[in-house]
Amino acid sequence: MTALVETRALTRHFGGLKAVESVDFRLDKGEIRAIIGPNGAGKTTFVSLICGRIAPSSGAIVFEGRDITALPAHRRVRAGIAYTFQITSIFPRLTVFDNVALSVQRRLLSAGRPKPSALKAGVGEALERVGLIDRAGTLAGNLAYGHQRLVEIAMGLALEPKLLILDEPTQGLSDGEVEGFIALVREIASDATVLLIEHNMQVVMDLARRITVMNFGRVLAEGSPEEIRANKAVQDAYLGTGSDG
């Protein structure tokens, strides 16, 4: 397999807090990978380092064989990394269509002057994929929380990313919506690599080919769902409590 993302001794400290500590990580093209761990394990900080929202204290990040450690977040988006937030970051006073159009426009502008037809087609395709095409004219802020999460995923898909990072994507979704989300991620994985942080273990076990477990800012274990399920150290780590990380 060809590596899409690699981190080498990636570290981020906040004062005396070792949020991420010397993490070596590899994600291959075409994978669906889950990152799990107890609250405060460093999961969100780790993916924030990959997408460029925060800078590392030390270590390196490589994307498609290129060192992107010093690359700003907007250029990582242009390189093919899209990130959906743990808390929705939609524009509530814009319609669903206009929210997604912002992402499509960003992608098209990087390739030249966009045509209106290309913009409309790009938005329509993204909304079709997440099942919200019939809500295109609705104000995003008037949607149920679960549908707002889907709008954000559509915004990520509209960028046509090589890597789509999803942070707690099923939070606020009903059981039926979770089933739809699982099907959606499998479809997304046909042309993108997916990295997700998720607390719903049924979703993790159904989707991920490999699972990375973090605890106290380090990788505690890595393996197939079966290997992780049987790992005693992983079971013990979930007995702790703490603030979300």
Q: Is 199 exposed, middle or buried (0-12, 13-18, 19+ CB in 10 A)?
A: middle
pLDDT value, residue 87: 52
Exposure string over 125-140, b if 16+ CB within 10 A, otherwise e: bbbebbbbbebbeeeb
Q: pLDDT of 12-35, one tens digit each?
A: 999 999 999 999 999 999 999 999
Q: Around 16, how many Cα atoms within 13 Å sit in the side-chain half-sphere?
A: 0
* Tens digits of residue pLDDT in 118-175: 999 999 999 999 999 999 999 999 999 888 989 999 999 999 999 999 998 888 888 8
Domains along the sequence of the chain with CATH: 1-71+195-245 (3.40.50.300)
CA–CA dist 150, 109 (Å, integer): 24
As a whole number of angstroms, the distance between CA 171 and CA 154 comes to 16
